[in-house]
Amino acid sequence: MNFSFVSGDATRASGELLVIPLFEGELADTAPTSLATADSALEGRLRGAATQEGFKAKTDQAFLMHTHGRAGAERVLLLGLGNRARFHPEVLRLAAGRAAKTAQRLKVGSAAFVLPATDAAANAVRAVVEGLGLGVYRFDKYKSAAREEKNPAKLDKVALVLPDGVEKSRELEDALALAKRVADATNWARDLVNEPPNVVTPTALAEAARQAAKEGGLQVTIGGRRDIEKLNMGMFLGVTAGSIEEPRLIHVVYTPKNARDAKRPPLALVGKAITFDSGGLSLKPTEGMVEMKTDMAGSAAVLGAMKVIAALKPPFPVHAFIGACENMPSGTAYKPGDILTSRLGKTVEITNTDAEGRLVLGDILTWACEHRPSAVIDLATLTGACVIALGNYIVGAFGEHDATVNEVLQSARTAGEEMWRLPVSELQKDALRSEVADMKNSGERWGGSINAALFLKEFVGETPWVHLDIAGPSNSPKERGYLSKGGTGAGLRTLVEWVRLRAATPDDYEATTPPTPRAAATKAAAKGAKSARKAAKGA
């Protein structure tokens, strides 16, 4: 999609569709210049018709009118932004997404979009460009009609009409460039999630990572079963044992060219990558299995974020760690009752083979933390319990390091992705207690998402860590704003914003990096042994 900035009379801007977003009250009272000009060109009919149709510029409202040749555009689309006092760029992003879908339905190839007057024009540019870029997304490559359509309708040219008093600047150009990268990367991640599981296998996902790294100038290492065995990732090997598809160990690295920056502690991003989850021997019901091609959405978002990070060039390294495999039932599959030994050395009793994501993530998190990151985020479609708690559009955020959790929540707010912090409470730890191993992989039903977070916490040691459960937001059940039904790319925008936030003050994170999980476990064991000896001596 090609964008340009224009100023002046919006009705004269090139485009088949003129889009004017409005806040409540602007239709009847203080109309912005763009609306007043369009209404004048249409001889006062625009505001009158919109009023008759009940358009009050409330959030999610829209009104479409044909201009009958009285303006440069064939149609005018009014979009509601709701109450100005409660405005957030995400409202504009969703509205732009609705405009993109309207343009597609009308088979419009060009549009002029009036930027509303807000506190930060750059944020408005980002919201509109991302909303339009995400809104035009369709996944129809397997539909015969779409393949046979020779000239499919596509919105590919947009003029962004600047508000009164705002001029084109480097800041707006940079916001536009970033928004395009984010939208393109998100749509790339959506494609990975929406592809069927016979197409996106662990090998195919690794190849997608390799190609993305090559395009972005990133370093990539792809390992197989033998490499996983050498790393003693017993939990990962247990999950993949039932599938004929070979597992893949993916490590993508961005390293700054500046030698000093290259030595800074890295950030670590970990993505869950179960390319199909049948539940294993704890088989899912059919209706619960159909969408399990999306169980690799965390890895898709992480890889998509790395595409943007490669262009941002932050002044510190960023690593992405992914363990990709299928969870399938067979004669070689791991079984309820098995005991697996993790890379960290902890033993895990398997009580449910459908709680497989945390097993792979546990080994991958241990490996990631051995690279001494200043902080680590994992992104995972981990629990149905989180969907029950927060629904389809809110991410569950877990972590004990308040500063890092707050950074991620702040980044999510900036990105327009809603997250809610949930506890990582020791009160739930008994749910994972095992009589035959160090812990169980699945506890009681109650507090299921907390139990999963507690399990992962065992494998990060003292590294500042945030777990994002995207089980709900990773897959939209319906069209909404810029979302299409299916994969969403949830979490990608937040990861990009988190890296941008840290890049603004890199020296603040130069403190001594925490010990690795193994070192922390050894320290804890030594402390426990010392306490035991002291108790015995006292007795």
Say how many C-beta atoms besides its own lie within 10 A of residue 9's C-beta: 15
Q: Looking at 138, 210, 284, 500, which residue is catalytic?
A: 284
Q: Is 10 left (phi over 0), alpha (psi -120 to 50) or beta?
A: alpha
**DSSP letters spanning 74-130:** SEEEEEE---GGG--HHHHHHHHHHHHHHHHHTT--EEEEEPP--S-HHHHHHHHHH
Q: Looking at 190, 264, 343, 358, which residue is catalytic?
A: 358
End-to-end CA distance of the chain, in Å? 76
| Amino acid, single-letter form, for residue 506 | P
Which residue bears the tokens 């994002």? Answer: 468
Q: With H, G, I as helix, E, B as strand and everything else as coil, classify residue 65.
A: strand
Q: Is 358 a catalytic residue?
A: yes
Q: Is 478 a catalytic residue?
A: no
Residue 523 vs residues 121, 227, 462: alpha-carbon distances, Å: 52, 27, 11
Say how many C-beta atoms besides its own lie within 10 A of residue 247's C-beta: 26
**DSSP letters spanning 116-183:** P--S-HHHHHHHHHHHHHHHT----TT-HHHHH-SS-----EEEEEPPTT----HHHHHHHHHHHHHH
Which residues does the annotation mark as catalytic? 284, 358
